[in-house]
Amino acid sequence: MNRILVIEDEEIILKALTKLLERNHFEVTTASTVEQAIEAQPQSFDLILADLRLPGAEGTEIIPIADPIPVVIMTSHASVRSAVTAMRHGAIDYIAKPFDHDELLLIIERSLLQNRMRAHNQSLRQDLKRLVPAENVNQCQAMRPLIEGLSQLENGEHFIALYGERGTGKELLARVAHANSDRAEAPFVVADLPSIKPSRIQVALLGGDLPQPEEHFMPGGMVHSAHNGTLIVRHPAQMPESVQIALVQALAERSMPGTSGERSINVRTILISESSLDSQVEQQQLHPALASLFKANEFAVPSLRDMPDDILILAEHYLTHFCRHHHRSQLKFTPSAMSAMTAYRWPGNTDELKTLIERSVLLSKDNQINPSDLGLSSVANETYQHDFSLDEYFRFFVTRHQATLSETELAARLGISRKALWERRQKMQLQRE
């Protein structure tokens, strides 16, 4: 049962409102002044119905005190100015006296629904941050130039392309770009094209007739649903050429195809691919007109093996996150586990790293994580023995692999820079043969 606080100084109106609301299954608490309303703890209610003119203070003064509880303002001074004033102060809605009972109940239900939707959206955003922590990209030194490049784009830049191997966090970067823009509170829509039948892609993106409503496509298409926000298009090469041309027209002209100018769109679109725009055009996967829209803001996302200095930093970040998420005391990586992680090639990139670390948090039976917990025992057995110190492991790994690996590859496998590799060679008098 929803709880409503009614603030009204006229006794007859107060009794009538109480009777009406209780008859419609609301739990009602009353107050005749803002001061009394404050004593009733306004933040404990689902909705506040407040008269504009009250003794001592206007009803709008309860709005910042009750925040985020929605407030509907009532007034017998019906005018546009009163409505504007109430809404400017943060009221969720406004009704003029004398009011129709059905109209009042409709406004109350609508306000409660809006508040539930807002709370639900906030909950979803928090849950998304918990499940997909965007902070991990900020942990990577190699990612910072890319993040800075994205953040420096003007909010008017509507076309961005990100490409890189699977599992490199391209969609997460797109979410960061969205969150750091003035569109952060607007829709974030992901068009996962491989999951849509090719014959239905145009309807899914741009709308149209829906002979199969069970597919649950968004009314008007994903482009229209992302109005004022961000649209992510995963694997754009999956689009038939006719759809690519239609999408170019919609995005370039900022209007939905086949509609009047009143259905204009303002959408920041981010393409996510595994290969560059030029490569997709050369392979005739992407129409040149679509590629040209995004070429000015194209960014390559590095693979995990291309940023070896960040492997252990990311691993520690994920370990802390999953220990907290699964209510485990903080675990630690053994030196052998760290060596295995830096030696492994990570074909699945950061997604694979994240998965293996969550698995290790769930499987570990003590306060340490070993290579076997990570599923990297075979890597560990090839490159080190469990009783190696870090220096012994360095000497063992370099002498074993320097005949087949370049200095750059050795440094990458060890998770250090070429300069650090050279310095350590000099310190240990370990010259390359």
Domain locations in the chain as residue ranges: 3-123, 133-302, 305-428
Domain 3-123 belongs in CATH node 3.40.50.2300: yes
Q: Are 379 and 371 in contact (CB under 8 A)?
A: yes
Q: Are 83 and 56 in contact (CB under 8 A)?
A: no
Quick one: pLDDT at residue 136? 59
Quick one: pLDDT at residue 342? 86
For the stretch 330-344, pLDDT in tens is 999 998 888 889 888
Three-state secondary-structure class, residue 96: strand
For the stretch 266-294, pLDDT in tens is 899 999 999 999 999 999 999 999 999 99
pTM: 0.63
DSSP labels, 200-223? GHHHHHH----S-GGG-PPTTHHH
Note the CATH architecture for domain 305-428.
Orthogonal Bundle (1.10)
Give the count of beta carbons closer than 10 Å to the beta carbon of residue 41.
Answer: 11
Would the CATH topology of 3-123 be identical to that of 133-302? yes
Strands (E), 329-405: 332-333, 368-369
Please give the Cα distance from 422 to 428 (Å, whole number).
10
Q: How far is CA 233 from CA 150, 164, 196, in A?
A: 17, 14, 12
For the stretch 26-40, pLDDT in tens is 999 999 999 999 999
Tokens of 73: 């303002």
- pLDDT of 95 over the 90 cut: no
Tokens of 360: 């290790």
* Backbone Cα Rg of the chain: 30
- pLDDT of 408 over the 90 cut: no
Domain 133-302 belongs in CATH node 3.30.10.20: no
Quick one: pLDDT at residue 160? 95
Please give the Cα distance from 64 to 390 (Å, whole number).
58
Among 33-37, 131-135, 220-224, 285-289, name the one with the lowest average pLDDT: 131-135
Q: Between the CA atoms of 372, 375, 376 and 381, what dihedral angle is there, to the nearest 10 degrees?
A: 50
Q: How far is CA 333 from CA 256, 357, 367, 388, 418, in A?
A: 53, 10, 9, 15, 24
- C-alpha count within 13 angstroms, C-beta hemisphere, residue 148: 6
Q: What number is the average pLDDT over the span 70-87?
A: 77
- pLDDT of 239 over the 90 cut: yes
Closest CA to 5 of 24, 23, 39: 39
